[in-house]
Amino acid sequence: MKNLGILLSGRGSNLEAIARNIEAGRIPGRIAVVISNREDAPGLALARDLGLEVRYLPSKGKQREAYDREVVDVLRQCRVDVVCLAGFMRVLSPYFVRAFPGRILNIHPALLPSFPGLEAQRQAWEYGVKFTGCTVHLVDEGVDTGPIICQAVVPVFDEDTVETLSERILKEEHRIYSEAIRLLLEDRVHIQGRRVLRKDAPALSLGRPGEGEREAGSGFDPHSP
């Protein structure tokens, strides 16, 4: 069974969805450790309540790569295969990305490449788009620039606020993040240039660190019995 490392800075709603889907047998892996750079992150308390291994690694005042080396050391100690960024409010250094090549996932609350960076929901709402959504992508050395594994589309209604739109997007995040993790753990994604294609036969080995599917909302339902 492959090991997941979850990195978060906030409330941990995606962590909760991932843990629920693991328990239900929809994700063939286990959460080996949850790491946060914020001691007061609600997601850390949630992880403790779920009985998970948690680590608080403060980042304030630390140089980016020096901090990332601390995090990578913990991930390696916990024998993590795939790293999942779940509201981790830091840009990873090249050192971190190269430590887990093709094995870091991020969830972004917009349809990349539109509206990268912070407050993507507000960016989309203020721009006036009629549709937005969320994206799960592999992390590279840029900001929200990695190959896309899954996307889900969400309508923007005239009466929406940033808050109501964000909640609608979050529901889709919970669904497609678990789908993307499952595909990666099952070796069912194959990268061709920037394109991430689904395939039935294994193409990418999930070996230890150091050695993305076209999707616009799949039939995978994390809430189904």
Q: Is there a catalytic annotation at residue 108?
A: yes
How far apart, in Å, are the Cα atoms of 23 and each of 167, 178, 223? 24, 12, 12
Q: Where do we find the tokens 């286990």?
A: 30
- Is residue 130 within 8 A of residue 156, CB to CB? The reply is yes
Judged on CB neighbours under 10 Å (0-12, 13-18, 19+), 187 is middle
What's the CA gap between 162 and 97, in Å, rounded?
31
Range list of H helices, 90-161: 94-99, 120-127
Give the Cα separation of 32 and 137 in Å (integer): 21
Answer left, alpha or beta for residue 79, where phi above 0 means left and psi between -120 and 50 means alpha: left
Residue 55 · residue 37 · CB < 8 Å = no
Active site residues: 108
